[in-house]
Amino acid sequence: MTRLAPFAAALGTGLLLFLAMAFPNLGFLSFVAFLPLFWMLENTPNPRRSFFAGWFGGSVFFLLLLYWLAIPVWDFGGAYRHLGVFGLFILFIIMGLFWGLFSYLTNLGLRSIPVSFILFTPALWTIIEFIRVKVISPLPLGVVGYSLAPYPILIQSAGIFGVLGISLFVLLINACLWVLFRGHMVRFPAIIILIVVLAGNLGYGYMNLQKDQEEIMEVGLVQPNISQEEKWDYQRREANLEAHLGPSRALEREVDLIVWPETSIPATPIGSQVEWSMVQDRLSFLEVPLLAGILSPENARVHNTSLLLLQGEIKEYYHKIWLVPFGEYIPLQGLLGWVDTGFFPTTPGDEIKTFEYEGWSWATPICYEVLNPRLIRQMSADTDILFNQSNEAWFKDSIGLPIMWSVGVIRAVEVRKPLVKAANTGYSGWVDDLGRTRVLFPALEYYYDSMTVEATGEDSLYLRFGDLLIWPVFILSFVLSFLLGPMRKKKIDFKKYAGR
């Protein structure tokens, strides 16, 4: 094997996983995406080389999957845009280190018998993924489980184990297929595990998808198509407001609630009270409740806020808690306070708010907050529905739109709550609590419609216990790995297979 072969194999896994996660119709590729990486690990007896190859493959994966985050940095970052893009590049390289760590430890794991590999490797990957998205990384994207969002029957176990459980399932399939593919390994345990895992997941998924659902409410959804350059153009504030009001007037007789995207009300914190009064006058003619986003001032601070208004009067509000680093605030102020990102700084809210009106209850995760499973669990505790308000004009016509939609699908299944998304430029629509996309507006089009939102009305185990339930699975996997294949006694002869 040449020196470049390990890097080419790791790159192959990075490319396959990128395709599976960036393009929903290719999500099935995740079931074979890790085969090139497993080949590299088996044929590279040097753990250090495995680490660097895995690091390379992971870095390329994150660069391809998350390049769209650099679009707003470059377009609106001002004098520091080069520094901002470079900072994202460094972050993606750091995230790739977790692939290197997995490769290094799995290289050692391959010295055990195949059953140990089948059980050890998926658990190891998922634990490392947990560490990356929960503890270290400020960017919890690139989780393998999101690749299966287009397949409702395969993601129902997220209601027990969360998205990490879906990652574990994908890695188990990859590991079993690798053992079956390699003729020198013991195949019988792999066949048994593959049948049990597939049958269990498919059976549980089919059972859940047969559940009846009941109507919750009629929702009117408005998706404007306003570019980021036009959104805060003072001369266009009247036109931008009318782009929301026109569809709302057409929908109000059909629905219980109208939802606009994040920061959809064109009254800025630096505007005057007269400007806000003008907006209130225009909204006063709507006869149904309106859920809309705005940048709101409060005691010399600015919040990214979701407002519930009735005929222009504020009834409830929620200030966004989980802000975008370097987009809505600068972390490590003592060290990085000098950085000017070109974005409007905001202040986080200090409490989760449940909106209640006429017997309905809901929460409003704003944009980036949908990436936080723990926050969504807290928001969903006493609610019937989730409204995710977002402004995705930042990302133009990029793969960021379907990627963020996939995240919302998984969140809906995790907490068993329907999720309605209102996004400027798209994607907008709603997902039921079983992960089925019921309505999806075309992206980058001016669109609006009414929809009947339904749900099973059941709470999930993940909503109650979070990630606690997956840890016994990890522990059992490691215990069985050591019991069924002592890792330090029976080793694969790397030299024997290096020439194959």
Helix runs in 110-162, H state only: 114-130, 158-161
Residues 363 and 245 in one domain: yes
Residues 342 and 400 in one domain: yes
Q: pLDDT 10s per residue in the chain (500 long)? A: 688 999 999 999 999 999 999 999 999 999 999 999 999 998 888 889 999 999 999 999 999 999 999 998 888 877 778 888 898 899 999 999 999 999 999 888 766 555 478 888 999 999 999 999 987 777 899 999 999 999 999 999 999 999 999 999 999 999 999 988 876 556 777 888 899 999 999 999 999 999 999 999 999 999 999 999 898 888 888 999 999 999 999 999 999 999 999 999 987 655 556 678 888 889 999 999 999 999 988 777 889 999 999 999 999 999 999 888 877 776 666 666 566 665 677 889 999 999 999 899 999 999 999 999 999 999 999 899 999 999 999 999 999 999 999 999 999 999 999 999 999 998 999 999 999 999 999 999 999 999 999 999 999 999 999 999 999 999 998 888 777 764 434 444 444 433 33
pTM: 0.92
386-409 per-residue burial string, b: 16 or more CB within 10 A, e: under 16: bbbbbbbbbbbebbbbbbbbbbbb
Residues 231 and 190 in one domain: no
Q: Which residue segment(s) compose the domain that 353 sits in?
A: 214-457
Residues 236 and 344 in one domain: yes
424-435 per-residue burial string, b: 16 or more CB within 10 A, e: under 16: bbbbbbbbbbbb
Residues 203 and 67 in one domain: yes
Q: Which of 179, 177, 171 is nearest to 42 (CA)?
A: 179
Residues 240 and 334 in one domain: yes
Residues 251 and 399 in one domain: yes
Give one DSSP letter per residue of 471-497, joined into a string.
HHHHHHHHHHHHHHS-TTTS---HHHH
What pLDDT score does 328 carry? 75
Residues 248 and 183 in one domain: no
Residues 164 and 131 in one domain: yes
H or E stretch covering 309: strand 301-310
Contact 453, 219 (CB under 8 A): yes
C-alpha separations of 148 from 28, 160, 205, 406 in Å: 7, 16, 13, 8
Residues 246 and 202 in one domain: no
What pLDDT score does 492 carry? 46
**How many other C-beta atoms can be found within 10 angstroms of the C-beta atom of residue 457?**
14
**How many other C-beta atoms can be found within 10 angstroms of the C-beta atom of residue 180?**
14
d(CA 144, CA 146): 5
What pLDDT score does 500 carry? 37
Contact 416, 458 (CB under 8 A): yes
Strand segments, DSSP code E, in 238-300 are 257-259, 290-298
Structural domains counted in the chain: 2
What pLDDT score does 485 carry? 60
Q: Residue 12: CB partners within 8 Å, gap ≥ 6? A: 36, 37, 57
Residues 341 and 257 in one domain: yes
d(CA 97, CA 56): 8
What pLDDT score does 242 carry? 94
189-196 contacts at long range (C-beta below 8 A, 24 or more positions apart): 189/114, 189/115, 189/118, 189/484, 190/114, 190/115, 190/118, 193/118, 193/119
* Length reported for the chain: 500
Neighbour-count burial of 3, counting CB atoms closer than 10 A to its CB (0-12 exposed, 13-18 middle, 19+ buried): exposed
**CATH number of residue 379's parent domain:** 3.60.110.10
Residues 175 and 280 in one domain: no
